[in-house]
Amino acid sequence: MIKTGAQIVMECLIEQGVDTVFGYPGGTVIDLYDALYEYSDQINHVLAAHEQHAAHAADGYARSTGKPGVCFATSGPGATNLVTGLATAYMDSIPMVAITGNVNINLLGTDAFQEIDIYGVSFPITKYSFIVKDQKDIAKTIREAFYIAQEGRPGPVLVDILKNAQAGTCEYEPQVPRAIVPRTRNIKSEDLAAAAKLINEAERPMIFAGGGAIAAGCSENLLAFAEMIGAPISLSMMGLGACPSEYPYFTGMLGMHGTRVSSKAVSNCDLLIIAGARMSERVTGNAKTFAKHAKVLHIDVDPAEIDKVLDTTTHVAGDLNEVLKALMAQIDQKEDMTWRNQILTWKKEFPPIAEDIGSIPPARLIRKIADKLPKDAIVVTDVGQHQIWTAQYYPFHYPRTFISSGGLGTMGYGVGASIGAKKGNPNRKVVLFTGDGSFQMNCNEVITAATQKMDILIVVVNNHVLGMVRQWQKLMYHQHYSQTTTNRKIDYVKLAEAFGAKGYDVSTMEELDAILDEAVSQEGPVILNANIDMDVNVLPMVPPGNAYNQQIFSIEV
Amino acid sequence: MDNRYIYSLIVQNRAGVLSRIAGLLTRRGFNIETCSAAETDNPGVSLIVVVFRADEKSALQIKKQLEKQVDVFEVRELTSDSSVTREHVMVKVSANEDERINIISVAGIFRANIIDVSPKSMIIELTGNTGKIDAFIETIKPFGIIQVARAGMIGIERLGGAPLMHK
């Protein structure tokens, strides 16, 4: 059938099972939005207040549902506003398809109004990008974009469509999407055999799983694998939720703000099994000293991650779930419990430490809110101290319940991501832990949550300073608190009301107790501003560049 | 220790591929010494040869990064033992009547071709490996080089089968 390019975009989105799009209209996407008008019974559009947050919403939707998130933006500033969102998704390997408009082909390259080469801009921050100049290429391109976004190691894909291609007509033939199958083509039987041998020979194996474990959806097999080989599980921040926090042999995070138990375990293990983690310097600290005495088995779907940071003893490159299944068929059930008992002893000896400072200690705040929420609540964060506290103290039970910008560390990510998470999971509770610094970067987006009548609990963990930088200044920059004391007098209750949301302001645990039940059961967005002390630190900490076992447990001034 | 690496990439012949490959190398901190790109016998497929310096670990890492690009079908390392490589250069050199015969004799030694002669200069072309081209330029320098146009390296493995042209 003959359709316009813009209609073909809609048809292709429907082919891919897309029913939700986040975006913002503009000059070069009017055709796209005109088609959307026609398809509004099949595609639900969430109008953001800013394109950056439309991108973060698509990202939050993808992280919380596992399906690719989709966003629309116009050319020029609309497209450049997506950049931070694309980069955030790229760094954390999140499947996303961003569709932008661009000027007519006869204006392309003339520096026309709102013309920018977003295709060129996107190269280093997307898995792939396309520019479509002819409507005949739209269907093929959109299909390929969805395939690339999801296959192997996922990532964001940009499709820039010229205005003439959106408006022009051509023949459209529906097509069943190409199936996304777990990538196994690089899994070699000799690699599996070598890995199985290492595992069988290990007396003290330890598993460190990352975001790849979430992407592969392998939680069940990860636990079964850990049980078979008698290993504790540590997670990277991106991996949180892959193993329930109540699992007795879960040791918490590893790295800059990892637990003492994880640090002990990685110092003493004789085999470190890295499962779907890219070993960022925030995890390894000084990579030369990291797990120096252990053999290293690295499993990752992306062969380029192997030996990138850490030299491995052996590796298997392929879908984590498939690799774990294949390995379990080749390894022995471990009977000796000495190593696991050692882990339990360390867990008793070194419980998580949280500074109990101020009238609302953040760890208590986070746990108190967790107690009020169901186990499957989706927890979103912004970036900074509150993010790490949430990662450390919130008890996660399921994969895809912790949504946070790990790699890029995007302050201002949270509100958009929460909107995406809520849209993808309308029947689940969504809570955003943010900081005053992060929230001030994106609070305009609360209007979207209010307009959409989304129940999102936004907890501003407010220390009135840019706490993470302040902590570094305190520790390493002679307490020169350069530009980190914000001194902004914002009335969060009024701010909430201005957006048509409900606001609370608390400064003590008693005040929190008094309103918390009401706050979590409100309809629509809620801004709960919790004033905390400005000098609570994120601990333990491995100062940058140090060995991972040189943790500090307090910062004295 | 940095060594010179020559990678031969079989890529999808699509707009932006060269930019993407060059960007990837630059972004990860490598300077490209030479780069050549052109369509192969298959119009859907291009061959890109990049030459850069790196240590062994970084070179292997960049190979993996290149291999995972959507447009890249295959990456082969061209080593001096296993492959033949060539560069091409055109040199415009000052050549008055007195010097012309000397230049022609130098060109003859290098088996270079004189492809243009004008009253005050001539253009010489030469194909060869990097060492030969460097030596030729050094030898011709005293006559007065006006301009050098040097193409990126191309190369082909001596043995080995046809490259992979799909993913």
Q: What is the pLDDT along chain A (557 residues), one digit of tens a residue?
A: 999 999 999 999 999 999 999 999 999 999 999 999 999 999 999 999 999 999 999 999 999 999 999 999 999 999 999 999 999 999 999 999 999 999 999 999 999 999 999 999 999 999 999 999 999 999 999 999 999 999 999 999 999 999 999 999 999 999 999 999 999 999 999 999 999 999 999 999 999 999 999 999 999 999 999 999 999 999 999 999 999 999 999 999 998 999 999 999 999 999 999 999 999 888 888 888 888 889 999 999 999 999 999 999 999 999 999 999 999 999 999 999 999 999 999 999 999 888 889 999 999 999 999 999 999 999 999 999 999 999 999 999 999 999 999 999 999 999 999 999 999 999 999 999 999 999 999 999 999 999 999 999 999 999 999 999 999 999 999 999 999 999 899 999 999 999 999 999 999 999 999 999 999 999 999 999 999 999 999 999 998 888 877 888 998 87
B69 is a domain residue: yes
Q: CA of A132: which chain B residue's CA is closest?
A: B15
A128: distance to nearest CA of chain B, Å?
A: 7
Among residues B21, B55, B77, which one ends one of the domains?
A: B77
Q: Domain count of chain A?
A: 3
Residues of A in contact with B67 (CB under 8 A): 303-304
With residues binned 3-state (H G I as helix, E B as strand, rest as coil), the percentages for chain A, rounded to 5, are 40, 20, 40
- State residue B2's pLDDT score: 87
Check: CB of residue A512 under 8 Å from CB of residue A530.
Answer: yes
How many beta-carbon pairs under 8 angstroms link A with B? 32
With vertex at residue A401, the alpha carbon angle to CA A399 and CA A404, rounded to the nearest 5 degrees, is 110
Residues of A in contact with B65 (CB under 8 A): 304
Helix (H) or strand (E) holding A161: strand A156-162
Same domain, B146 and B122: yes
Helix (H) or strand (E) holding A228: helix A219-229
To test the contact with chain B by mutation, choose from A134, A143, A308 the residue with the greatest count of B C-beta atoms within 10 A, namely: A308
Q: Which amino acid is located at B66 in the chain?
A: L
Helix (H) or strand (E) holding A22: strand A20-23
Please give the positions of A annotated as active site.
51, 113-114, 163, 468
To test the contact with chain A by mutation, choose from B19, B56, B58, B61 the residue with the greatest count of A C-beta atoms within 10 A, namely: B61
- The CATH number that applies at residue A54 is 3.40.50.970
Sort strands B32-39 and B45-54 into parallel, antiparallel or unpaired: antiparallel
Same domain, B7 and B71: yes
* Residue B47 DSSP class: E
Same domain, A117 and A57: yes
DSSP labels for A54-108? Answer: HHHHHHHHHHHHSSPEEEEE-STHHHHHTHHHHHHHHHTT--EEEEEEE--TTTT
β-pair partners for B157 = B83
Same domain, A120 and A225: no
A304: distance to nearest CA of chain B, Å?
A: 5
- CA–CA gap between residue A465 and residue A485 (Å, rounded): 5
B26 is a domain residue: yes
Q: For A287, list phi and psi in degrees, rounded to 5.
A: -65, -25
- State residue A293's pLDDT score: 87
- CA–CA gap between residue A480 and residue A556 (Å, rounded): 15
SS (H, E, C) A382-435: CCCHHHHHHHHHCCCCCCCCEECCCCCCCCCCHHHHHHHHHHHCCCCCEEEEEE
Among residues B51, B77, B103, which one ends one of the domains?
A: B77
CB contact under 8 A, A124 and B60: no
Same domain, A47 and A111: yes
Same domain, B111 and B126: yes
Check: CB of residue A441 under 8 Å from CB of residue A509.
Answer: no
- CA–CA gap between residue A217 and residue A180 (Å, rounded): 14
Residues 6+ apart with CB under 8 A from A329: none
Same domain, B145 and B120: yes
In sign, the C-alpha dihedral spanning B89, B94, B100, B106 is negative
Tens place of pLDDT for every residue, chain B, 167 residues?
A: 689 999 999 999 998 999 999 999 998 888 899 999 999 999 999 999 999 999 999 999 999 999 999 999 999 999 999 999 999 999 999 999 889 999 999 999 999 999 999 999 999 999 999 999 999 999 999 999 999 999 999 999 998 888 888 77
CB contact under 8 A, B61 and A308: yes
Check: CB of residue A488 under 8 Å from CB of residue A436.
Answer: yes
Same domain, B50 and B68: yes
Q: For B87, list phi and psi in degrees, rounded to 5.
A: -125, 160
Which residue do the tokens 């479509």 mark? A132
Check: CB of residue B87 under 8 Å from CB of residue B129.
Answer: yes
A543 is a domain residue: no
Burial (0-12, 13-18, 19+ Cβ within 10 Å), A271: buried
- State residue A13's pLDDT score: 98
Residues of B in contact with A122 (CB under 8 A): none
- Cα A448 to its chain centre, rounded Å, is 21
Q: CA of B62: which chain A residue's CA is closest?
A: A304
Count of beta carbons in the 10 Å neighbourhood of residue A542: 23
Same domain, B9 and B70: yes
Count of beta carbons in the 10 Å neighbourhood of residue A451: 15
Helix (H) or strand (E) holding A207: strand A205-209
- CA–CA gap between residue A196 and residue A481 (Å, rounded): 52
Same domain, B63 and B100: no
E strand spans, A283-392:
295-300, 314-317, 378-381
| Interface of chain B toward chain A, CB-CB under 8 angstroms | 15-16, 19-20, 23, 27, 57, 60-61, 64-65, 67-68, 70
Same domain, B52 and B89: no
- CA–CA gap between residue B60 and residue A307 (Å, rounded): 9
Closest CA to A262 of A314, A196, A394, A240: A240
- State residue A549's pLDDT score: 74
Among residues A115, A140, A171, which one ends one of the domains?
A: A171
Same domain, A205 and A256: yes
Same domain, B88 and B143: yes
Residues of A in contact with B14 (CB under 8 A): none
CB contact under 8 A, A307 and B70: no
- State residue A544's pLDDT score: 86
Q: CA of B27: which chain A residue's CA is closest?
A: A124
Tokens at residue A317, please? 């490159």
Sort strands B83-94 and A314-317 into parallel, antiparallel or unpaired: unpaired
CB contact under 8 A, A124 and B27: yes
CB contact under 8 A, A124 and B23: yes
- State residue B160's pLDDT score: 80
- The CATH number that applies at residue B19 is 3.30.70.260
CB contact under 8 A, B67 and A304: yes
Same domain, A139 and A20: yes
B57 is a domain residue: yes
Same domain, A143 and A218: no
Same domain, A290 and A371: no
- State residue A353's pLDDT score: 82
Burial (0-12, 13-18, 19+ Cβ within 10 Å), A288: exposed
CB contact under 8 A, A304 and B20: no
CB contact under 8 A, B67 and A128: no
E strand spans, chain B:
3-12, 32-39, 45-54, 72-77, 83-94, 113-117, 121-128, 145-150, 154-157
Q: Domain count of chain B?
A: 2
Sort strands B145-150 and B113-117 into parallel, antiparallel or unpaired: unpaired
Buried b (16+ CB within 10 A) or exposed e, A405-415: bbbbbbbbbbb
Tokens at residue A461, please? 């963990």
B144 is a domain residue: yes
To test the contact with chain A by mutation, choose from B24, B68, B73 the residue with the greatest count of A C-beta atoms within 10 A, namely: B68
- Cα A160 to its chain centre, rounded Å, is 25
B44 is a domain residue: yes
- The CATH number that applies at residue B95 is 3.30.70.1150
Tokens at residue A97, please? 């398809």
Residues of B in contact with A129 (CB under 8 A): 16
A320 is a domain residue: yes
CB contact under 8 A, B23 and A123: yes
Residues of B in contact with A303 (CB under 8 A): 64, 67-68
A354 is a domain residue: no
CB contact under 8 A, A127 and B70: yes
Tokens at residue A9, please? 């975009």
| Interface of chain A toward chain B, CB-CB under 8 angstroms | 119-120, 123-124, 127-129, 131, 148, 152-153, 302-304, 306-308
Closest CA to B111 of B85, B94, B129: B129
Same domain, A73 and A210: no
3-class SS of residue A447: helix
Give the structural domain span for B70. 3-77
B141 is a domain residue: yes
B159 is a domain residue: no
Count of beta carbons in the 10 Å neighbourhood of residue B67: 14
ipTM for the whole complex: 0.90
CB contact under 8 A, A303 and B67: yes
A435 is a domain residue: yes
Give the structural domain span for A494. 362-531
Q: CA of A133: which chain B residue's CA is closest?
A: B15
Burial (0-12, 13-18, 19+ Cβ within 10 Å), B38: exposed
B127 is a domain residue: yes
Same domain, A157 and A203: no
